[in-house]
Structure 1
Amino acid sequence: MEKRPLTLEIVGRKLLLKIPKNDQDIQFIRSIQYARWNKDAFLWEIPHYPGNLEKLKGYFGERLTSITERPVIEVPQKDETVLLEKNQVLMIKTAKARLRLYFGFHAELMKVVKSFPYYQWDSKNKSWSIPYSEQFLEELKRKIEELGFFLVYKEEAAPDKVQRKSCAEIPNYRKCPEEYIHKLEERRYSEGTIKAYVPLFEEFLNYFVQIPLEELGEKEVMDFSRYLVNERKVSSSYQNQAINAIKFYFEKVRGGERKYYHVDRPIREKILPVVLSEEEISAILKSIKNIKHKAILITIYSAGLRISELINLKITDIDSQRMQIRVEQAKGKKDRYTLLLKKTLEILRVYIKNERPHFYLFEGPGSSGDQPVKYSSTSISAILKTALKNSKIAKKATVHTLRHSFATHLLERGTDLRYIQSLLGHESPKTTQIYTHVTTKGFEQIISPLDNLDI
């Protein structure tokens, strides 16, 4: 009977040993710390710690018929270490909407990654990343396959967040001081900013409920910021806004010097917006039977409005002569004009004839000529949520997605970025340029200068 060979393979930080059953050999292997039997692969796994390889060679000697080394890339993950062959790429969709890539040195693949907007190299984790979008994911998969790599794809689970405590859960809950609110109003902060700042400052106050307000200072700001990141696991934009709300108290209400608090203020993640196709927009609007609900979504989409701008629209802001919508005191306290399309005007006329609003273009329940009531943002979100469900669209779209889609569709139809910037009310052209990274329509029409060269 032919004896089974003894083989040893060195794979990263593991020594993989295959031996025939022998009680004396097994006893020796078990004497090595952390050695374990892998019943699925039918071999022994021994940590490649200093000295272990020499122990095995010394014990088995000439009985080892082969010793091989398999080059791999070790990728430490939360619950495991992933071993990648040289021809493999590990791609992880992170909870922060980025695609993170691990692979060995390969100039062509690095060039591909660098062709995407907002790419980043993480020197600590030895990985590349780009913003996530369905389009980028499919393009990367195709490029990886073309270069002869095998893809290992994983999706990262969203981190468990500590929810913000409600007023009822905190004994002796401290409300935001009236002077804080008065100062916000005095400095003419928008209604939206006031609604955001007040609960953020209250969260800070009640995190230190035992410390008197006048004794709170820089140390508490730093501790609270760390709590938001490490325990609440909030987004970078939430953390930034929370710090700004706290700074407002110390600098504007208390009258302290403007200063930088030495906290880990995060760099905002470069995330591409979700965009609906023109076909998906059409399906959403067709699924809505209620004329008021349809008028709300078609106005937001066709004019590229923020939800707060739609809520604040007055009937008099609709200029059917010039086919424009006037947006007053929008973000940054700026007025602007945007498009009033023929189809939008037709829907609005039917809606106004049926509903007869008094002052605001869209009014909530209980509104009257003497006391007009604005339509609520939560109701608008609910309208879109129902429409997405009815039209069987799985994308994680919000009301703001309609605005992103409006801008992207304009760009795809050849509208100059400067006009899109004006219609959206962006202060910086850099904000508008994000839409050039969302679409690839029209690329096939671009004529390369190379085509005209005599080479």
Structure 2
Amino acid sequence: MSTLKVREIDHRGERKVALFYDYIVNSALDNHTRALPNRAFSSTNKCWYIPFRDDYRDYLEQYYATCEGLEINFEQVKAENPNSERESKEAEITVLIRIDKVKKKMYVEHPYSPHLHEIINATRKGFWLKKQHCWVFPGNNENYTGLSQLITNSGYKIRQIILEAPPETSVKQPEHINKQVMSLGSQEKTLLETYSHTILLKRLSPSTRKIYEHFFTVFLMDQRGKEIEHLTYHEIYNYIKAKSRVLEFTQLNQTIAAIKFFYERVMDRERMFFYLQDEKIIKRGSVFIGFDELVDICKKISSPVDKMLLFLYFHVRLEHDEICLIPSNSREMFSDRYRLAGNNQEAIEYFQALFDEIQQMHQPGQYLFENKGEAYQVHDLQQKVYDIIHRYRLKAIYSAQYQYILDATTFSPKTKQMYLGAFMKFLEYHHFRHPTHIRNEEIRDYLVLHREKSPSHQDNMVNAFKFFFEQVHKSEISDKYMIRPRKGFFLPDYFTRDEINGMMSVTHNIKHRFMISLFYCSGMRREELRQLKIGDVDIKSNHIFIRAAKGNKDRYTLFSRHLHGMLKEYLEKEKPVHYLFEGAKSGEPYSSTSMSSTLKRAALAAGIRRRVHLHMLRHSFATHLLEDGWDIRYIQELMGHRNIKTTSRYTHVVNDALSSVKSPFDKMIEQSRGSFTGNGSSP
């Protein structure tokens, strides 16, 4: 016997009819309810509901008449007028209008009220700020008068606040902090000035800048008398740990951010991490493999037990402990206990066929999977799954499992692809043994085999192995086995100004000429230029907005005023739709291969015979800015380098001191007064 309780409710200011019953998947009552016209689910009330209608009792009795064994209880409600109740609640609402005289804006705030929201939205003069939960309007008398009258005439109260200064600049240093800043020593004041100068280069809000400067000032005062630049990680960590006992959560995070900014951005140290809480262990579930894909994987497997294990673990996604305790009489387990994704009848029949085959071949006792007459232990069953994947070399399962894990990370798509490719080749070399069964010595030997590869390639392999072994499989590997290559120091290759000018003069295609010009004038990476939108180029400020660049960070770079005419000509001729540079198919970005080929053809036509690549234009941008005397920190910002050490490579290219050094060969010629003929003849 099933019971359906029916009750009238007020849902989001509207009258509804709610349906309450015991939720049982695929029951007759549940299926009937899901088929109701205009039904919807309320997460707040945890029930299904339909729009109110005067005859809802007769309507529901007639609708559920075919549902056998159902008792419908219509709960009595107090006679009331929902409209009058809503009107009385709405009348109590007070609308707050904050007037910012400096920014010339009005911010309108009000409690939840669909009616009021609709009234304000109908003015079409402001817009809703979702994160701040308020409206914003241009701050003029016309808007204020019209909005005030509209709200008042609708029966709502108004409260007004006038802001004499913008909210984001209202953060002030406490007076006692300002006084103590004056008492800082000359060394601390110099550090604070450097800190403030560096922070101005970053695109931080005024409020954030003041917060950083405040907490860094406190840090300087607390560390007075010490060499701030030479504090060790443990000294900084102990300071933060002590602060964690007296500061609130927000203030502690602001202190950490201010200190990290100094040591990582100003002092160019490696990134620091401060773990002040116990690390939470994240449980990783098994990956889901679709039925058709799983059947294809199992074609090479002969054992019905092995097939069943893979089916239950990767398709049904049962845990090991659940699989261990499946009774031997569970042929109909998907009818009364579990439910397959999509309720796939073909998958159920596949399970039942495997079940019958296991019964016929092994005749299990109490449990479906038994080890010497007893239920499998979780560890033993897990080991058996590993052995199945290894024995049949099921590359597809490894690949799907690791892709599932990588997709849950914040790595860039390129990093995910590189990690997966490197680790799959490693597993293939070891015949797809489970990683927990691969010894440390075998990892080291595999890395040694790749010593002829480039240092960056080897370094990427080590990063991939450390991620999968240590973070995924929780298997610590000593550094003596994870041998990183010795990194060489290579000077960036770049074009001279004459070479770039030469390539421009021989490139007549407007798209190709504009592309080369934009690479050089902005210093963008190849992928940044590919993803550049038409609206990202601001010709008024001569800036280019680069969104979600390397490290998932936005930044601005330069655009030349001398390219305004070329940009206009290019847009009129090529007519790109979405991206600034599009390929043969409209709306899709220009391919990397086409970009590289364009530069190579231009270089060859200009008489440049050495090997060239697109990144040389980025190197040229940084090198020529340094030659022109620009501060390296500005160049770091324009290039999007996290660490200034990366930018400092270009200072080795631009070294005026070396240009004054003469070769001993030149001195020899000068001393011989030009007697050297250079014709290669012997004395």
Q: Under a length normalisation based on structure 2, what TM-score does the superposition of the two structures give?
A: 0.37
1:286 to 505, 508, 516: 505
Deviations 1:37-84 (A, max 9, x none): xxxxxxxxxxxxxxxxxxxxxxxxxxxxxxxxxxxxxxxxxxxxxxxx
Q: For residues 644 and 407 of structure 2, what CA distance do their matches in structure 1 show?
A: 30
Question: Which has more helix, going by share of residues?
Answer: 2
Distance change in 2, residues 1:295/1:215 (3 Å) = farther
Contact in 1 for aligned 2:440/2:477 (Cα 8 Å): no
2:655 to 437, 440, 449: 440
2:580 to 351, 361, 367: 361
Aligned equivalent of 2:482: 263
Aligned equivalent of 1:430: 645
Instruction: Kindly state the Cα deviation for residue 413 of structure 1 after the two structures are TM-superposed.
Output: 1.1
> Does 1:208 find its partner at 2:430?
yes
Aligned equivalent of 1:321: 540
Aligned equivalent of 2:407: 185
Aligned equivalent of 1:220: 442
Q: For residues 185 and 296 of structure 1, what CA distance do their matches in structure 2 show?
A: 33
Instruction: Kindly state the Cα deviation for residue 298 of structure 1 after the two structures are TM-superposed.
Output: 1.4
Aligned pairs for 1:287-436 within 5 A:
287-367=506-586, 372-436=587-651
Q: For residues 360 and 314 of structure 1, what CA distance do their matches in structure 2 show?
A: 4
Contact in 1 for aligned 2:399/2:420 (Cα 8 Å): no
Contact in 2 for aligned 1:304/1:403 (Cα 8 Å): yes
Amino acid at match of 1:383: T
Instruction: Kindly state the Cα deviation for residue 280 of structure 1 after the two structures are TM-superposed.
Output: 0.6
Unaligned runs of 5+ in 2: 1-391, 661-683
Amino acid at match of 1:361: L
Deviations 1:348-385 (A, max 9, x none): 22222212222221122223xxxx32222122111111
Distance change in 2, residues 1:392/1:251 (3 Å) = same
Aligned equivalent of 1:86: none
Q: For residues 532 and 417 of structure 2, what CA distance do their matches in structure 1 show?
A: 19
Distance change in 2, residues 1:444/1:390 (3 Å) = closer
Aligned equivalent of 1:194: 416
Deviations 1:4-43 (A, max 9, x none): xxxxxxxxxxxxxxxxxxxxxxxxxxxxxxxxxxxxxxxx
Aligned equivalent of 2:469: 250
Unaligned runs of 5+ in 1: 1-170, 446-455
Q: Percent identity?
A: 37
Aligned pairs for 1:61-76 within 5 A:
none
Aligned pairs for 1:30-45 within 5 A:
none
Contact in 2 for aligned 1:174/1:209 (Cα 8 Å): no
Q: For residues 291 and 442 of structure 1, what CA distance do their matches in structure 2 show?
A: 40
Q: For residues 493 and 645 of structure 2, what CA distance do their matches in structure 1 show?
A: 18
Equivalenced residue count is 268
Instruction: Kindly state the Cα deviation for residue 240 of structure 1 after the two structures are TM-superposed.
Output: 0.2
Contact in 1 for aligned 2:393/2:432 (Cα 8 Å): no
Aligned pairs for 1:154-173 within 5 A:
none
Contact in 1 for aligned 2:435/2:469 (Cα 8 Å): no
Q: Which has the higher contact order (CA 8 A, sep 6+)?
A: 1
Q: For residues 297 and 261 of structure 1, what CA distance do their matches in structure 2 show?
A: 46
Alpha-carbon RMSD across the aligned residues, in angstroms, is 2.6
Deviations 1:291-322 (A, max 9, x none): 21222221111100111111111112111222
Contact in 2 for aligned 1:304/1:424 (Cα 8 Å): yes
Larger radius of gyration: 2
Local SS of the residue matching 2:603: helix
Contact in 1 for aligned 2:436/2:475 (Cα 8 Å): no
